[in-house]
Structure 1
C-alpha cells in the first residue's frame, strides 16, 4: 500500500513538474515579446520590397515580378522570374525592412 501511494505521488510530481516547466516557458516567451514592443506593419514598403527583390534577381537576367503579398504584419513576399528562355529561373524573396531570404529555383521544362 505504501509503495503504490509513493508511486502515485511520484507520477503526480512528474506530471506537475512538466506543467510548471511549460508555464515557465510560456511566461518567459510573453515577457520577451512584450519587451520587444509591438510589431509594426511594413505594408507601406511593398514598392521598396519589389524594387529590392527585383534588383537582387537582376544579375540572373530580365526580371518579371509575378506577385507581391503581405504575408504577415511585417513580412512581404515577392515572387517572380529572372532570365529568359532555357535560362529562366523563378525566385521567392522575403522582405521586412530589407531582404531576409532570397531563393532562386530552376524552372524545369515540361
Structure 2
C-alpha cells in the first residue's frame, strides 16, 4: 500500500518535471526562430547623425543623450529649436531610424 502511494507521488512529480522541460524547450525553440539580434553598439555615431538630420527639419539640434537600450536598439534624445518653439525628440535606431517622437517644450512662465 505504502509502495503504491509512493509510486503514484513519484509519477506525479515526474510528469510535472517533464511538462516543465517541454515548456523550456518550446521557449528555446521560439528564441531560436527569432534569431539573435544584431549588436549595433558601433552605430552610435550613425544613430546620432541620422537622428540629428531628421530633427533638423524642426530647427537647430542639440543631442542630449545616446543610449544602447538593447543589443539592436539605440535611442537618441535631444532638442530642436527654430527660434520660435523648442521641442524635444526621442529617436529609435536599429540599422536605420525606426521611430521618431517630437514633443513641444513648454516655455517658462
| Same-fold call, TM cutoff 0.5 | yes
Aligned to 2:34: 36
Aligned to 1:102: 100
Does the CA contact (< 8 Å) of 2:58 and 2:82 recur in 1?
Answer: no
Q: Which has the higher helix share?
A: 1
> Which blocks of at least 5 consecutive residues in structure 2 are unaligned?
1-18
> Which blocks of at least 5 consecutive residues in structure 1 are unaligned?
1-19
TM-score (norm 1): 0.70
- CA-to-aligned-CA distance 1:61-81 (integer Å, 9 cap, x gap): 001101111111111000000
The count of aligned residue pairs is 89
- CA-to-aligned-CA distance 1:12-60 (integer Å, 9 cap, x gap): xxxxxxxx8xx77x76554332023222210000000000100110110
TM-score (norm 2): 0.70
